[in-house]
Amino acid sequence: MTTKYNYYSLLVFLCLFFAQFYPQISSAYQTISESGELISADNYRFGFETQFGSGANLTGFVDAPLNEVSQLRVLAGTGDVDFYAGVSYKWIPFPDLEKQPAVGLRVGSAIGRETTDNFVAFSGSPLVSKKIETPQGLAIPYLALPITYTSHKSKTTNALQLAIGSEFNTPELKKWGFGGELGINIKDSQSYIAFFATIIMDENIRGK
């Protein structure tokens, strides 16, 4: 029990500590905002995300299962980044079972516009998560390492980030999921804090 609460204390501390390192522009298309869990077949999940820097971005997204080990996300948003839209593919060949965490890969692409500059971005992210039962509900902390290639009109960047976050589901709000994420700049990227909420059309998460 102590370990579970220590996890949340550490996450809050990191959010407060890294808040002072916000960039001038936050790139919401670079966030992860999901664990290694997959929704059940023939169901969909709708959600939105707010990401905070010196300004803010708002993103809407839809998740759809493809098969037993993969899932698709389509997203679009606006804010500090004038407009962006993208798609990502999550592949989890190793699900969360007993002591084994969920392990997989998330790849994606996005297009968008910042002021007068259009861009195209491609990313790949190793992803690990583990379910933790708490008295308040099911927490699913996750860790990802997004590697993003972004091409602008006048430059290209190869960015590396560390994303630490968690999903949370409560018995009282079975169709809703909530979560938060901290992004830490490692190379040519941005640090950020993001919060997200989802409406789960299917009340069951695979492996629960």
Per-residue pLDDT band for 25 (boundaries 50, 70, 90) equals very low
Mean pLDDT along residues 171-192: 91
Contact by Cβ (8 Å): 125, 107: yes
pLDDT value for 202: 63
186-197 pLDDT per residue, tens? 998 888 999 999
pLDDT value for 90: 98
pLDDT value for 55: 66
Mean pLDDT along residues 154-169: 93
pLDDT value for 28: 58
pLDDT value for 20: 40
Per-residue pLDDT band for 179 (boundaries 50, 70, 90) equals very high
68-103 pLDDT per residue, tens? 999 999 999 999 888 999 999 999 999 999 899 999
pLDDT value for 44: 92
N- to C-terminal Cα separation, the chain? 19
> pTM of the full predicted structure?
0.83
Looking only at the bridges linking them, the beta strands covering 132-134 and 137-144 are antiparallel
Mean pLDDT score across all residues of the chain:
85
Return the top range by mean pLDDT from 16-20, 22-26, 53-57, 89-93: 89-93
Per-residue pLDDT band for 145 (boundaries 50, 70, 90) equals very high
∠ CA 111-62-29 to the nearest 5 degrees? 30
> What is d(CA 75, CA 176) in angstroms, rounded to the nearest whole number?
18
Mean pLDDT along residues 107-124: 92
163-172 pLDDT per residue, tens? 999 999 998 8
CA atoms lying within 13 Å on the CB side of residue 159: 25
- Is residue 173 predicted with pLDDT exceeding 80? yes
- Is residue 22 predicted with pLDDT exceeding 50? no
Higher local confidence (pLDDT), 41 or 96 = 96
Can you tell me which residue has the tokens 């996005």? 110
